[in-house]
A and B are shown apart, each in its own frame.
Chain A
């Protein structure tokens, strides 16, 4: 399978292994056929997006269909990752959904100010969490038209 045929990619930026495993399970089961790439900190997320470091020369260097970005991350926090995405011409249009446990107003405002396309608070109960994730996947993979269209 080539990258071109696997057009849909979700970049999941998440440092909590439990949340990662649960999110992966939900996203893989919801049947949109997207590849889920996991980055466990901000630096890794940027390496994937810019095809650098361990992702150097990844084929096509296409943007993920959607990036799910946690705010509390080691090394580079989510807002800084978002700022760098928006500061670079290659990634400025990439759809980014902030997915965080923070319900603080300043996090919400700052996320939108930095150019987030959406802000979703991780629900505490697992059922709600899984519902939210399925909704995000449904919307960004099926309903929304990506800025770069089909590769």
Chain B
């Protein structure tokens, strides 16, 4: 609530002041009285008046003089003034003051007229105060909003700067990463070339002496058979046999290392056709064997045809090998649909293996059978394992000794493969 308005009344006669004050009690205003122009001016120093009612005729400083003073001070310049005058023709006198609201009443005045004029001025003042206050509020709001906007702007600027810096950082990190990848790739390429050179020298420098060992053993057997007894000949056969076996080991090791290094070419592979080719090859290598072989139709997969052929050569080749002592040998290649996608199964009814060694199955050089029983280098299944792993798949096996073995493999879940293709 706004404070009560204040009215300054100035008259040198106490009874006049008394009467005026009484009339003005009808308003809600607070009345300040002064009996001289000087007192009145002093009162304006400590109060803000909504209205001044001045008696014109006063000893010393008269009403007009006082009004001139009030108009001269910034604090009171706008205070409306009502003159109380004895003469109606004096009304011309205060036209010269010009500024602000002015009025007059000729004595003796009608209190009702006075009151209505006072109320009108008070209302005017109240409205002026209100407008002033609203403007102040508006200005405050505008200032507040402006400040808010400025602070938001400042924050935005900071954020934009931070974002730029972050983007710059990300760019630098990316460039760093790219440089790192390029450097690592170069290092890997060098390492690969070294591996390649190593493989090359292994294949040639290690195998040439084996050819000599084999060749001279054979020459000894052929040309000097008569000079060697059974034991001597047996020893020689062992020498050349082991040389052959070492050649196979080196060959399989080279295959294993090639499998790890080889570029993968993903395409649709007809596993059924590959299986049939592998089986044909096996049947040609041992035409005398009778094995009942069933291969599911329409087995299509995504993968590298060369590498998948090696998987099937190893798995079906193993099944072929480990059924060599089995009457009514059977080999089946099937695909089973499971949650994770198709699972391919190679099943035989051959020698099988002891499940307690199943973790060793896929490690290089691990053999679960005596050489005299089944030949092999022990590298085939680790080659299979590497190829399947490179395809994002899994390979595992189940077996009962003497009843056969079953190998399962997947080629990564199909959704992952789909994502990769896209």
- A100 to chain B: closest residue by CB: B204
Which residues does chain A contribute within 8 Å of B212, judged by CB atoms?
18-19, 22, 126
Say yes or no: is A102 at the interface (Cβ < 8 Å to chain B).
yes
Min CB distance, B255 to chain A, in Å? 14
Min CB distance, A27 to chain B, in Å? 13
Complex Cα spacing A102 to B200, Å: 9
- Contact in complex: A126, B208 (CB < 8 Å): no
- Contact in complex: A126, B204 (CB < 8 Å): no
Q: Which of B52-60, B96-104, B214-222, B314-322 contacts A (4 or more CB under 8 A)?
A: B214-222
Say yes or no: is B295 at the interface (Cβ < 8 Å to chain A).
no
- Contact in complex: B215, A126 (CB < 8 Å): yes
Interface of B is mostly: helix
Say yes or no: is B78 at the interface (Cβ < 8 Å to chain A).
no
- Contact in complex: B247, A18 (CB < 8 Å): no
Our pick among A16, A103, A127, A130 for the contact of B208 (Cβ within 8 Å) is A16
With A124-B207, A126-B211, A129-B211 as given contacts, are A22 and B216 in contact (CB-CB < 8 Å)? yes
With A18-B216, A25-B219 as given contacts, are A125 and B204 in contact (CB-CB < 8 Å)? no
Min CB distance, A135 to chain B, in Å? 17
Say yes or no: is B244 at the interface (Cβ < 8 Å to chain A).
yes
Which residues does chain A contribute within 8 Å of B203, judged by CB atoms?
103, 124
Say yes or no: is B273 at the interface (Cβ < 8 Å to chain A).
no
Say yes or no: is B114 at the interface (Cβ < 8 Å to chain A).
no
Say yes or no: is B210 at the interface (Cβ < 8 Å to chain A).
yes
Say yes or no: is A101 at the interface (Cβ < 8 Å to chain B).
yes
- Contact in complex: A102, B204 (CB < 8 Å): yes
Which of B209, B215, B216 has the most CB atoms of chain A within a 10 A radius of its CB?
B215
- Contact in complex: A130, B204 (CB < 8 Å): no
- Contact in complex: B204, A19 (CB < 8 Å): no
- Contact in complex: B215, A130 (CB < 8 Å): yes
Complex Cα spacing A122 to B214, Å: 14
With A125-B211, A126-B211, A126-B214 as given contacts, are A22 and B244 in contact (CB-CB < 8 Å)? no
- Contact in complex: B219, A22 (CB < 8 Å): yes
- B223 to chain A: closest residue by CB: A25
Q: How large is the interface on A (under 10, 10 to 19, 20 to 34, 35 or more residues)?
A: 10 to 19
Complex Cα spacing A5 to B83, Å: 164
Q: How large is the interface on B (under 10, 10 to 19, 20 to 34, 35 or more residues)?
A: 10 to 19
Which of A16, A122, A126 has the most CB atoms of chain B within a 10 A radius of its CB?
A126
Which residues does chain A contribute within 8 Å of B210, judged by CB atoms?
124
A residues 1-37 with Cβ under 8 Å of B? 16, 18-19, 21-22, 25
Min CB distance, B205 to chain A, in Å? 9
Which residues does chain A contribute within 8 Å of B215, judged by CB atoms?
18, 22, 25, 126, 129-130
- B218 to chain A: closest residue by CB: A126
Which residues does chain B contribute within 8 Å of A19, judged by CB atoms?
208, 211-212
Min CB distance, B174 to chain A, in Å? 38
- A101 to chain B: closest residue by CB: B204
Min CB distance, B239 to chain A, in Å? 12
B residues 233-278 with Cβ under 8 Å of A? 240, 244, 247, 251
Which residues does chain A contribute within 8 Å of B251, judged by CB atoms?
124
A residues 108-151 with Cβ under 8 Å of B? 122, 124-127, 129-130
Min CB distance, B186 to chain A, in Å? 23
Complex Cα spacing A16 to B210, Å: 13
Which residues does chain A contribute within 8 Å of B244, judged by CB atoms?
125
- B212 to chain A: closest residue by CB: A18
Min CB distance, A60 to chain B, in Å? 33
Complex Cα spacing A22 to B212, Å: 8
Which of B207, B209, B211, B247 has the most CB atoms of chain A within a 10 A radius of its CB?
B211
Complex Cα spacing A122 to B207, Å: 11
Complex Cα spacing A21 to B213, Å: 12
Min CB distance, A31 to chain B, in Å? 15
- Contact in complex: A22, B211 (CB < 8 Å): yes
- A104 to chain B: closest residue by CB: B200
As a 0/1 sequence over residues 22 to 60 of chain A, the CB contacts with chain B under 8 angstroms (1 = contact) are: 100100000000000000000000000000000000000
Min CB distance, A74 to chain B, in Å? 16
Complex Cα spacing A112 to B102, Å: 125
Complex Cα spacing A21 to B218, Å: 13
Complex Cα spacing A103 to B219, Å: 27
- B211 to chain A: closest residue by CB: A126
- Contact in complex: B208, A101 (CB < 8 Å): yes
- Contact in complex: B247, A124 (CB < 8 Å): yes
Taking A103-B203, A124-B247 as given, write out 13 further A-B residue pairs in contact, using a Cβ cutoff of 8 Å, ordered by the A residue number. A18-B211, A18-B212, A18-B216, A19-B208, A25-B219, A101-B204, A101-B208, A102-B204, A104-B200, A125-B214, A126-B212, A126-B214, A126-B218
Report A's interface with B, CB cutoff 8 A: 16, 18-19, 21-22, 25, 101-104, 122, 124-127, 129-130
Q: List 16 A-B contacts (CB under 8 A).
A: A16-B208, A18-B212, A19-B212, A22-B211, A22-B215, A22-B216, A25-B215, A101-B204, A124-B207, A124-B211, A124-B247, A125-B244, A126-B215, A126-B240, A127-B218, A130-B215
